[in-house]
Amino acid sequence: MTDATVNVTTCPRCDTENVRILTTSPVPGRWTMYICDTCIYSWRSTEPRSATDPQSYPAEFKIDPAEIPSLPAIPTVPPRRR
């Protein structure tokens, strides 16, 4: 089992250090869930390294925090009707 007490400081997706604990397992010590307040990525400590480790996170899914304000909304927000 993955050690749920690992101290996570870096977001796997955007590499910022804007990470905090979102919640923890009902049974203490089983898992910890983290969230990044920069890109809103969240993950559980027991997920594979490809989802939890910045070095192993797939490069094609990485996000540059500087690009977040210009990223398209999906699905597109329709224009106002009037």
Residues that bind Zn ion (CB under 5 A): 11, 13-14, 36, 38-39, 41
Q: Write down the least CB distance from residue 21 to Zn ion, Å.
A: 14
Q: Write down the least CB distance from residue 33 to Zn ion, Å.
A: 14
Judged by beta carbon, residue 3 or residue 17, the one nearer Zn ion is 17
DSSP string, the chain: ---TT----S-TTT--S-EEEEEE-SSTTS-EEEEETTT--EEETTS-HHHH-TTTS-GGG---GGGGGGSPPSSPPPPP--
Q: Write down the least CB distance from residue 76 to Zn ion, Å.
A: 23
Judged by beta carbon, residue 15 or residue 30, the one nearer Zn ion is 15
Judged by beta carbon, residue 16 or residue 30, the one nearer Zn ion is 16
In angstroms, rounded to a whole number, what is the distance separating the alpha carbons of residues 25 and 5? 11
